[in-house]
Structure 1
Amino acid sequence: MAKVTRKMVEETGINVDELLELLVKNAAAELTTFYYYTILRVNLIGLEGEGVKEIAESARIEDRNHFEALVPRIYELGGKLPSHMNNFHDISGCPPASLPVDSSNTTELLKVLVEAERCAVRQYTHICNITAGKDHRTYDLALSILHEEIQHESWFSEFLGEGPSGHFQRRGDTSPFVSKFLE
């Protein structure tokens, strides 16, 4: 643990234990979403599904990267991950992005994907609101993840016909905002 780091964050008035709880729950959401997106992506087949598969794969890999970027910050602030995966899964800050009953229905798969992203947008916006101007490193990390989660939501909502977002699929560059935390 970086003792000075935690002390400096505490001195800004942030309840570090509550912040850690949010970070751990979001790390759980990212890792479980990575897992569930793997299952969803496998089921994106046929003419409709193949068009979504590459975007789902980008979001899946970026969610794994979000998990990897969150873990060091959790430990820097004196937190830790649960020692059992079942417990980790069950504290996820977002509901599981489970396969819908009709796994051949691309629209239903897209609804699961977009709702997972919308939950993430709410979660990271909350962390940004708590840390803005107080905990610069956590704020920067949460804001970077938020940028990518907003893009994911935009991609999936366009496929659902909810209107244009102005976002374009990235080519060959995963986690453009979060990559600085992965080095």
Structure 2
Amino acid sequence: MAKKNIELIKKAGIDIKVLLKKLIDAASAEFTTYYYYTILRAYTTGLEGESLKEIVEDARLEDRNHFEALTPRIYELGGSLPKDIRKFADRASCMDAYLPDEPTVKNILKVLLDAERCAVGVYTDICNYTHGKDPRTYELSAAILHEETEHEAWFEELLTGNPSGHFKRSQPGVSPYVSKFIQNK
């Protein structure tokens, strides 16, 4: 636990319990999204699905990276992840990205887009809560927000056919904004 950092954050007006709840719920959403995207990626089949598979893989791996980057910050602030995976999954700040009953490429894209839109809202909220008061958490959340916004644009482009400015990453899971926060890279 980073005691001086916590003291300064509290002095700036942040309620540490509220912040930890937001971060743990966000970490849970990233963890469960990684799981569900694994299933969704498996169902991106056929000619149309094959072109989508790498993009789903990129978002999936970057969501895992988001979880890996959030976890140390949770512990630095004196929090911890729940010991029970079921309780942890139930805390997700976003709905589960279930495989649709009819797993067509279009329906899978709708699930992916909804999940990314929720994530954009989560990190916008954390950024707004920490802006000017907790620079470390703000910078981490802003980096994740950049990637989640790109994921949203990718899936919206694929669903609507309108250009988003999406360019292929050098390889899936690069996390150009979040990679500096991941301790194992």
TM range (shorter): over 0.9
| Native 8 Å contact 1:27 1:67 kept in 2 | yes
Q: How far apart are residue 73 of structure 1 and its match?
A: 0.3
1:44 aligns with 2:44: yes
1:109-153, Cα deviation, whole Å (9 max, x unpaired):
000001000000000000000111110000000000000000000
2-structure distance, mates of 1:102, 1:144:
34
Runs of 4+ in 1 over 2 A off after TM superposition: none
Matched residue, 2:66: 66
Query: Aligned to 2:160, what secondary structure does the other structure show?
Result: coil
Unaligned runs of 5+ in 1: none
Matched residue, 1:132: 131
1:19-60, Cα deviation, whole Å (9 max, x unpaired):
100000000000000000000000100011111000000000
| Native 8 Å contact 1:155 1:169 kept in 2 | no
Q: How far apart are residue 86 of structure 1 and its match?
A: 0.3
The root-mean-square deviation of aligned C-alpha atoms, in Å, is 0.9
Matched residue, 2:86: 86
Matched residue, 1:163: 162
2-structure distance, mates of 1:131, 1:106:
37
Matched residue, 1:77: 77
2-structure distance, mates of 1:12, 1:163:
43
One-letter amino acid matched to 2:79: G
2-structure distance, mates of 1:93, 1:50:
30
Matched residue, 1:113: 112
Q: How does 1:133-152 map to 2 (within 5 A)?
A: 133-152=132-151
Task: After superposing the two structures, state which structure 1 stretch, 17-26 or 166-175, moved more.
Answer: 166-175
1-structure distance, mates of 2:51, 2:27:
29
2-structure distance, mates of 1:3, 1:162:
50
Identity between Structure 1 and Structure 2 (%): 56
1:94-120, Cα deviation, whole Å (9 max, x unpaired):
0000100012x1000000001000000
Q: How far apart are residue 163 of structure 1 and its match?
A: 2.1
Q: How far apart are residue 162 of structure 1 and its match?
A: 5.6
2-structure distance, mates of 1:177, 1:149:
10
Q: How far apart are residue 169 of structure 1 and its match?
A: 2.1
Matched residue count: 182
Query: Aligned to 1:160, what secondary structure does the other structure show?
Result: helix
Query: Aligned to 2:14, what secondary structure does the other structure show?
Result: coil
